[in-house]
Each structure stands twice: as C-alpha cells, then as structure tokens.
Amino acid sequence: MFKKILIANRGEIACRVIKTARKMGIKTVAVFSEADREALHVQMADEAVFIGPAPSAQSYLVIDRIVQACKDTGAEAVHPGYGFLSENKLFQQALADNGIAFIGPDAHAIEAMGDKITSKKLAAAAGVSTVPGYMGIIKDADEAVKIANDIGYPVMIKASAGGGGKGMRVAWNADEARDGFERATSEARSSFGDDRVFIEKFVDQPRHIEIQVLSDGENCIFLNERECSIQRRHQKVIEEAPSPFLDEATRKAMGEQAVALSKAVQYKSAGTVEFIVDGQRNFYFLEMNTRLQVEHPVTELITGLDLVEWMIRIAYGEKLTIRQGDVQLNGWAMESRIYAEDPYRNFLPSTGRLVHYQPPDESDTVRVDTGVYDGGEISMYYDPMIAKLVTYGPDRNTAIAAMRRALDEFYIRGVSHNIPFLASLLGKQRFVDGRLTTNFIAEEYPHGFNAADLPPEDPTVLACVAAVIHRQVQEREAMISGQMRGYEREVGTKYVVRFSKERYEPVSIANDPDDDGWGSVVTVGGSKHKVSGDWAFGDYLWLGTVDERDVVVQVDRKGSNGYVLSTQGALADLKVFSPQAAAYDQLMPVKLPPDMSKYLLSPMPGLLVSIDVAEGQEVKAGEKLAVIEAMKMENLLRAEQDGTVKKIHAAAGGSLAVDQIIIEFA
C-alpha cells in the first residue's frame, strides 16, 4: 500500500480523506494557501506544504506547485477531493508523467465524462436517455438566445467545466437567456478557467437522483442511489439515501445504465452518474462526476463501505472484493450542508471568525464532516461550507428526527449560517412525506425565507426554559455576592416573561417534589409544566424535558435579564422581569430603527466587480446597479424602486464589508 499520499484540496474533504488514510496507516501531506495557514486540514496532516496566495487560481489550481509538493515530500499518490483539480485531465497527466499515482480515474475518463458537452454526446451515442439540448460551442449571447428560442423555454444554461451550481442559470425568456449566458460564462471563466457553456431543455418538476458507481477497471458495481432534489440555486442542500421515490425496478434500471456508461469509458475509481427523473419515473442522463461527491457519506452509511478507502485501494492496483449481489440497502441516511450564509438575507455569503463552534457529538447515528474549528476563519476566497451533518436511522422518519435534534445541538456563532433554514425544510410536511422536486424550495418559499417561516412550535416551552435559567442566574448571583439564598437576599419565584409582543404572566417556579429536587414546576398563567434540564453557566445548550418531551435549546445571554433562545431553528428574544420591573418595562419608549431606504448597502462581504450607474442618473425599479463577487459567485444588485443616484460611495475593484454603503439615492 502507499506509504504517503498528498491531498490536493482543503476544508472538510481534505480532513475526511486524512481520517481514512490515518485508519489505513498511510501518512498524509496537506497543501495550503496563505488564507489556510491555520486551517484544520493543515493541523491534521502529518506534513503541510505552502503553495501560494489565497485566491485558488494562484494556489490550489496551480498544477506545478502540487506536483512539486509531492516531489518535496515523497508523496506517492494524490487524492484530489472534489472541486479544484479533481476533474482536470492535465493534472492527472502531470502526476503520471512524474510517476505519481492519481487517486481517481484515468485521464481519458476524466476528459470524456468530466466535460459535460462531451459526456452528453457519448451518452447519447451509447443509447442513454438524455435531455434535449444544444451541445456545441456557443459564440456569444445572440447565438445563445437563438438556441434557447429553438429549444423552447425554459432552458438551462450550464458551464461545460462547471459543478457545484457555479456557471449555471435558468432562463424563462430571451432577456433572461441573454443575461444568463453572460453571467454563466463570467462565473465559469473565474471559477474554472473555461468559459464554455451549453444549453439544454429545463425539465419542469424534476427530481435529481444520482447513482454511485465503483469500478476497478474490470468489475463495476453500483451502490444504489442518492436523492439530491432539495436544491437552492442548483446547489444541493439536503441529500438522502435511498430515494423515497424510486421503486426497485427503476433503481435497477438506473444502476445498470450507470454501470454501462462507466464501462464504456473504462472507468476506474468511485464516480457518480446523475439523472433527472420526472414524475413518471422516466430518467434522463444529466452528467457524470469523475470524482468523490460531497454527499458520499449517506451512501457510506447505508452500505457500510468507505468510498475513500476503496478509491485508494483501486489506485494502488487492488481489485474489488465486492460484487453487485453484496451491495445492501441498510437503513436510511440524510445529509444537511451547513453553510456560512444568511438565510434571512437571501442566503448571501457570510465570512469571518467562528467565535463559537460546537457541533453535535458524533455517534452511530450522527456524523459530522468538517474542516473548521472553534475560533477558525471562514474565508471569502472559498466555498462557504462549514460542515456536513449526517444522520442515520433504520427508516426515513428516524433519520429525519435525528437530523432535527442534531441541528438543534449544532451551535455556531460569529458568522451567519443556514441552520434555521434547514430546520424549516425538515419541518415541512411535504418533505416528511417525501414529495420532493428540485423546485421544492422555490415553491415552499416563494417570497424567500424569513423568520415568519419558523415560529416556535410552542412559545410556552421557551418561556418556561427562560424562567428556569433566570432563576439559576439569580441564585448564582446571590451566592457570588456572599449572601446565602433565603438570608438577607431572597431569590424571587414569581416572574413576567416577555417574548416579542407577548407577555407571560404570572410565571412562578417551585421545586418539583417528584424529581429529587432537580426539576421544577413552572406555572404559566395558571397552567403547570414540569421542567427538568441540565444546564450550567457557560453551556451553549439547555438539554432537558418540558412535560416529559425532549427539548434542546440553544442559549445566549443578553444583558442581566435577556435570553436569546433557539430550538427547531426558531429564534426567540426573551426578557425575564420581576413583577415590579415588568411594570416599569411597559412604560419604556420603543426605539425605532434608522431609515436606510435611500442607500444601497452591500449585503455581504466581497469584491465590488462593477458599478453600473453614474451619479445623477435616474434608475427604475429592477435596474442593474452593481455586481458583487463573493464565495466564487457573482451577485447582481438591482434597484428596489425608482430613484436618482445622488452619490457613489465605493469604487469597482474594491473590497466591501457587510452593510457598507455603495450608492446613496436622492
């Protein structure tokens, strides 16, 4: 077996590969850019090599530097992870030329399947069902519009060398086709160094289901499917295995077709064949990813196989010891992608320091793949993924329940994150029923995501928890002051809890005689609730029961009597008063927020690519104002209403902070 391998990647996937290599007794080499000097994958590896500045085009995408790092450290093989150079045939060839093994398929398979235009032509020639479209090179926006008109709207404009939702747009008319072509080519050029795009018919109400294949060049098997239909902006959000939609006949047909396609290109490694599946279970080839997929953990959990280990073994020349009949469907697995983005601001990227980062404990039912740590940094230069949270159960409902609890236990502060959105998705009855399509998010959240989508299931539960925590705080303060409880300073037992416009009163607390003195009976407006929890000062989580129902509440203190509590994704800002203080609180004036309607603010930290208006110019609602690039995505800012540009406060090419003023209107 290899003695030492280099991981040509970063973040969670680099850490995940290191874990398997360590289990196999293989030494590892990490590579890192200027932005990743203190990254987790650098700390985990046995050795680390600096390869350049923060932008990936000057570090992780520079083939010569990766090859030189292998030579300098004696690495015998390279695992590319996903993204970056993982589907670059020139990288595979450069390694081969230097006698370094590539832990992945051969260059001809990468070239044939990694390029989406070529792969669709090969699939069609092999008799695989494909989506109607135009696979040729498109010269300019005018030609793109003509092709889109010929195919018929809606159409999908996609980067040939793309992946991860980059360089991808859906167009419903000619104007959107023109703009989509320009944006897709620009993103493709900056992300992949290849601005070729193709256009295909957009299948309405589709499911995105993919087949995992594993081949040693002679024996090729499929490891069943993954359902990846929950997507936003064509980026997968929640994946699961198996699919709640497929029957055994369709699963077998898709798997056999995926194997046939793999054999046609002499595939050798782990790979994924993606399909679009309509409501009648007709399936169409979408693309083949000649690498490890982000969502591979759900397949590992239901099959018991380590895909990274098999990739390494196959690259070393070992043969599969598994046959198709050995592949089992055991239980159900689900993955949620935790991103550094603000779901309340149209999912714009968030960067900065992870002031607090506490993932749930791993177990037989919970797995956390991450590349960050408490106090680490989320950089503006790379993908905003924080972690992949994976849960497992004997059936789908159990996996969902485990995921909802694990999300409650995932505590992140310092950057915005999408956990509230994930909690909302999992709570949708349509999701629980398995009625999924790639349009799920657009249909369930037609006006975007906001706090109204996540009301607390039972606000009384949070009122009880806030009162119990506040009493603990008061008891501690009495002890610290040197005054014993009940002597000279009495800790109150009656409170008023304010949550938004609601007031819970009277609230009283007494010890629960049935709980050995550890539990409480909280009376809210005459209704009694048994509350028992495990919480100490400094804990981020309150774990306990309310009326014998398991509850996980994230706790943030706010002043002397304020508590920001969250559970099931819902955020509640509560204050706990004594009855006398509550009376004074009602007399306090309400402070109104400042009027910022005359300013265009940067919704995220990033690079200001362009300013598309001038001072004194009149603009109409919907008109393009500026373009900001962050996390490898271009974000177009448009006018929300008619107005006149009074002053431009930022210049193209400059860096922006979140909420920085870009344009002021008269």
Q: Which residues are catalytic?
A: 287
Residue 529: closest CA among 553, 548, 544: 548
Sequence-distant (≥ 6) Cβ neighbours of residue 325 within 8 angstroms? none
CB within 8 Å of 406: residues ≥ 6 apart: 360, 366, 389, 391
Spatial separation of the C-alpha atoms in residues 665 and 115, rounded to whole Å: 45
The single-letter code of the amino acid at 391 is T
- Pair type for strands 101-102 and 77-79: parallel
SS3 content of the chain, % helix, strand, coil (to 5): 30, 35, 35
Other residues' Cβ atoms within 10 Å of the Cβ of residue 510: 11
Q: Which pairing describes strands 47-52 and 27-33: parallel, antiparallel, or unpaired?
A: parallel
CA of residue 641 relative to chain centroid, distance = 32
24 within 8 A of 4, measured Cβ to Cβ: no
Residues with Cβ within 8 Å of residue 389, at least 6 apart in sequence = 335, 336, 338, 359, 360, 366, 367, 368, 403, 406, 407, 410
Q: Which residues contact 327 (CB under 8 A, 6 or more apart)?
A: 221, 222, 223, 224, 303
d(CA 187, CA 229): 23
Angle, helices 11-23 vs 307-316, to 10°: value is 70
Q: Helical H runs in 573-644? A: 579-585
Per-position DSSP letters for 281-294, written without gaps between them: --EEEEEEE-S--T
473 close to 483: Cβ distance less than 8 angstroms: no
How far apart CA 394 and CA 364 sit, in angstroms, is 12
Q: What's the rounded Cα separation, in Å, for the pair 475 and 533?
A: 16
Strand ranges in 321-414 using DSSP code E only, listed in sequence order: 332-339, 341-342, 348-349, 352-353, 356-358, 366-370, 377-378, 385-393, 411-413
Alpha helices in 381-458 (DSSP H): 396-409, 419-427, 429-432, 440-444
